[in-house]
Amino acid sequence: MHRLAFFDAEVWLGKPVGFPLAQESSRDVLVSALAALGITECCYSHWSGHSVSAQEGNRALLAEARDAGPRFHAIWTGLPLFPAEDGPLPGRSETPGSVCGVRLFPRTHNFPLSDWVVGGLCEWLISQRLPLLIWHEETGWDSLRALAVTFPGLTIVVETQVRKVFYHLRPLFALMKDCPNVLLETSNLTGIDSVAFAVHAFGAERLLFGSFLPANDPLAAMGMIADADMEEEEKRLVAGGNLRRLIEGRAR
Amino acid sequence: MSGAFIVDAHLHTGEHGPFFAPESGGRRLRSLMDRLAIERAILAGSWAALTRGGEAALADMRREHEESGGRIRYLGVFDPREAMESLRLLEKAKGWPGFQGIKLHPSFHRTPAEDPSYERAWSFAADNGLTILAHSWSPSEYNPVQALSLPSRYEGHVRRHPEVRFVMAHCGGRGSGRAEALRMAGTHPRVFLDLAGDIFCFHLLETLRNAVPEDRILFGSDYPWLDPRANISRVLLADVPDSWKRKVLRDNAIRAFALEERLS
């Protein structure tokens, strides 16, 4: 596994919601768990950004960022830029350099994923070279496709959490076929041959490894990549190469 | 060990309407078994057998067994809403090669697991030395029929038929059903739990090893709902002794399904 240099796009701080058997873990505990599997770099998010408010989650990430080190990158939670709201929000306040992406929860935070609502934020993300991340269940496939078509310069990472994505592979793969700016995070992409299928159909550069630690065991998603019917270079891209390139784009 | 040695204690075959699977038949399954060192597998109902039932579906599973050279064994599906017809088919299949037991799925069949209509299946298993594999899960906000398959709902049947080897699929799911499943495996000597499905909880193997007797956990993939690689990786790389990994990947399933006994 170590040879693939995994870089985890999906590590979560705070109290997990909807996973009663998962335990809240400190960053140090999670980092140790990842290191034991050879994962030395990750993007981390905070459950409060989903379950409390975008601002609360971002504040928690700001506190974590103070001593996080250069191999740990934050994913903030966003809201529409208008009407303006107080607090640490992408596009509204200064965004630290450690932020490597912005996630929206349209369903939970009660707004449609439509350009007339989130268009301003999308323009800002493009200007900052930041990707937009979204759980597949937080919006509808038509809305997601419309946004991807309207903003071809925006990188959209569809995340395979928090419910079973294998029920939705038909629209998901159709979306990826139509929209080259859509990438796919793989923590729950565990349907039969799903990783290899997506790589062969859309190219290895379209997938990003994620673990969804601590709710999920990283080994499930790692095994799907390490033992897939793919070339070694394709595995390296999915395991971490693509995410590194995405973050380097932000740094430039 | 070298060569194929794993027993996949819970998988399916057939074209599944609810989700995309590029290829999910017996040929692809056999190819994956070869690729992943899976020596034998328990076909816990084809999709047609689980949803439509009938003699043709049962015969198709027998054909899968024969085409696999005996590596794939199969379970007959008991639908309590069609109890007499299900029993007739089980009676027919019990002498067939590769027939290994009975699959129950209270959530699919919209009948709670404790319902008396299942008694015929439990008695049939007891009378014929068969294993029962049953779906189990936790209460789910977005899939309320899972409540029909809570582990504790099976306990009355288990008490009435302690001789039946009973495998609870999915270890009771990802919520409160887990504790019930563990309690039952700790209480009843012939209750087993399988790892099939997306119970991808962090450190699951390590947790289970400390919670139940070491001969009760079975590896299962739930193919083609899920790729066997997801769960095989978790067992092979878990922080548990190799001797227990072997039990999970092979020995416990042989015992739970009496594979050697029924083979001979």
pLDDT, tens digit (0-9, with 9 covering 90-100), for B160-183: 999 999 999 999 999 999 999 999
User: Which chain B residues have a beta carbon less than 8 Å from that of A164?
Assistant: 198
Asked whether the beta carbons of residue A214 and residue B18 sit closer than 8 angstroms, the reply is no
Contact A99, A74 (CB under 8 A): yes
The residue length of chain A stands at: 252
Most B-contacting residue of A11, A21, A34, A235 (CB-CB within 10 A), to test interface: A21
A198 → chain B, closest CA residue:
B22
Q: What is the DSSP string of chain B?
A: --SS-EEEEEE--S--TTS--S--SHHHHHHHHHHTTEEEEEE---HHHHHT-SHHHHHHHHHHHHHTTT-EEEEEE--GGGHHHHHHHHHHHTTSTTEEEEEE-TTTTTS-TT-GGGHHHHHHHHHHT-EEEE------SS-GGGGGG-GGGGHHHHHH-TTSEEEEGGGGTTSTHHHHHHHHHHH-TTEEEE--SS--BTTHHHHHHTTS-TTSEE----TTTS-HHHHHHHHHTSSS-HHHHHIIIIIHHHHHTTHHHHH-
User: Which chain B residues have a beta carbon less than 8 Å from that of A169?
Assistant: 19-20
Chain B residues touching chain A at CB-CB below 8 Å: 18-24, 28, 36, 138, 142, 174-176, 178, 198, 200-204, 223-227, 229-234, 237-238
pLDDT reported for residue A73: 94
User: Which chain B residues have a beta carbon less than 8 Å from that of A37?
Assistant: 237
Walk me through the domains of chain B, giving residue ranges and CATH numbers.
6-263 (3.20.20.140)
Which residue among A167, A188, A227 sits closest to B229, beta carbon to beta carbon?
A227
Which residue among A37, A170, A217 sits closest to B200, beta carbon to beta carbon?
A217
Closest CA to A217 of B121, B240, B11, B223: B240
> Is it the case that residue B260 has pLDDT exceeding 90?
no
Q: Which residue has the tokens 């290191």?
A: A35
Q: Is A207 left (phi over 0), alpha (psi -120 to 50) or beta?
A: beta
Residues B152, B154, B156: CA angle, nearest 5 degrees: 95
Asked whether the beta carbons of residue B21 and residue A227 sit closer than 8 angstroms, the reply is no
A69 falls in which pLDDT band (50, 70, 90)? confident
Domain range list for chain A: 2-251
Mean pLDDT rounded to a whole number for chain B: 95
Question: A90: which strand partners?
Answer: A93
- Mean pLDDT value of segment A110-138: 97
- Mean pLDDT value of segment A107-111: 98
Asked whether the beta carbons of residue A217 and residue B226 sit closer than 8 angstroms, the reply is no
pLDDT reported for residue B2: 60
A159-218 pLDDT, tens digit per residue, is 999 989 999 999 999 999 999 999 999 999 999 999 999 999 999 999 999 999 999 999
Top-confidence residue, A44 or B26: A44
> Is it the case that residue B263 has pLDDT exceeding 60?
no
Express as a percent the part of chain B with pLDDT over 90: 92
A248 falls in which pLDDT band (50, 70, 90)? confident
Dihedral of the CA atoms A63, A68, A74, A77 (nearest 10)? -10
Contact A239, A204 (CB under 8 A): no
pLDDT reported for residue B262: 53
Asked whether the beta carbons of residue B225 and residue A166 sit closer than 8 angstroms, the reply is yes
- Mean pLDDT value of segment A106-114: 98
Q: Which residue has the tokens 């399904």?
A: B257
Asked whether the beta carbons of residue B233 and residue A228 sit closer than 8 angstroms, the reply is no
Determine if the pTM surpasses 0.90: yes
Asked whether the beta carbons of residue A170 and residue B20 sit closer than 8 angstroms, the reply is yes
> Is it the case that residue A252 has pLDDT exceeding 70?
no
Which residue among A21, A192, A226 sits closest to B227, beta carbon to beta carbon?
A192
Cis ω before B145 (30° cut-off from 0): no
Does domain A2-251 correspond to CATH entry 3.20.20.140?
yes
Closest CA to B94 of B112, B121, B133: B121
Asked whether the beta carbons of residue B230 and residue A194 sit closer than 8 angstroms, the reply is no
Within 130-159 of A, beta carbons closer than 8 Å to B belong to none
Cis ω before B224 (30° cut-off from 0): yes
B264 falls in which pLDDT band (50, 70, 90)? very low
